[in-house]
Amino acid sequence: MNANGEGIEHFGYVDGRSQPLFLVEDIHTEKTETDGISVWDPTAPLNQVLVPDHAAPDPEVHFGSYFVFRKLEQNVRRFKQSEETLADQLGLVGEDRERAGAMIVGRFEDGTPLTAQREEGAESPVPNNFDYGSDAAGAKCPFQAHIRKTNPRGSGGAEEPPRERLHLMARRGVPYGERADDPNADLPPSARPSGGVGLLFMAFNSVLGNQFEFTQAIWANNPGFPIPPDGAKPPGLDPVIGQGPRPESVYPTEWAGTRTVTADPIPQAVTLKGGDYFFMPSLAFLRGLGGKG
Ligand code: HEM
């Protein structure tokens, strides 16, 4: 957790914030918190995560979900070093050096989205009512940033926004591993763990091929996505989870500025250790098992 009580993953960033929402109370809470106009609507239909459970007594009313489980090791030392290297290559100084990591993830460590102007201190709850409409050139949040790759919020350029939304899944990440260092302390990269810690990535889907697999293969691993404006260089791989050879990527040197620098690829700091797909059955199916015992 960070000082605001928000859950953070091992690289130090608030995680699990942006989710498709299904329940009226969750949607209501989110809308109340973002008073004013809704730029990003997190609402999704239940069939984005639920499918009929054919092993349950009544598949018409009993649903399950296709569940992805992946153990992703995080080399925190390497990631933190690459934030410093990127800040150096862009010539960022002082507080603005934090923007290097934010451009890798798409949010600052406290969860503030890069598209929003950063004000004093973190907002609580962490904002999620934003899109990339004010950032068509990638001058605030680079196209390759992890959250812009994995949810372009209607700006990917390859599909109409309603179709693009169908790739979203419900994520539930749990950090694993013990750390000797304090993740919230200001320490040099050399004090960070280089192995033994990571994220148990979990996600619920109704169509694995169109959600988790699509996000990883067609978005994160695809150097040409999101489709940049005419004449601009392809974004490159997702610097957090992209798999495969990593080309160079372009970053703005100032927030919303026009000068850019082509920086070295961010070295891979996330390694798949194992995982599988499962079918998460309905509660009715599980209750049935109990009855037979
Ligand atoms: C160790 C590996 C990973 C780390 C450290 C990581 C980190 C993060 C962080 C810090 C956020 C921002 C907080 C939020 O909006 O929830 C985020 C968002 C997200 N991540 Fe990851 N992530 C990892 C793996 C993955 C994988 C494997 C996928 C899917 C293939 C994925 C998909 C997403 C999506 C869809 C979002 C929300 C984007 C949005 O709606 O704006 N992440 N991740």
Return d(Cα 87, Cα 253) in angstroms, integer: 9
pLDDT tens per residue, the chain (293 residues)? 888 788 899 999 999 999 999 999 999 888 776 666 789 999 999 999 999 999 999 999 999 999 999 999 999 999 999 999 999 999 999 999 999 999 999 999 999 999 986 655 567 778 999 999 999 999 999 999 999 999 999 999 999 999 999 999 999 999 999 999 999 899 999 999 999 999 999 999 999 999 999 999 999 999 999 999 988 999 999 999 999 999 999 999 999 999 999 999 999 999 999 999 999 999 999 999 875 54
What is the separation, in whole angstroms, between the first and last Cα of the chain? Answer: 40
Reduced to 3 states (helix: H, G, I; strand: E, B; else coil), residue 81 is helix
Residue 95 CA: distances (Å) to CA of 69, 100, 200:
37, 10, 31
Considering only CA atoms, which residue is closest to atom 23 of ligand 1? 241
The atom number, within ligand 1, closest to the CA of 147 reads 38
141 lines ligand 1 (CB under 6 A): no
**14: which strand partners?**
8
DSSP 258-271: S-EEEEPPPPP-EE
The atom number, within ligand 1, closest to the CA of 18 reads 15
**Length of the chain, please?**
293
135 lines ligand 1 (CB under 6 A): no
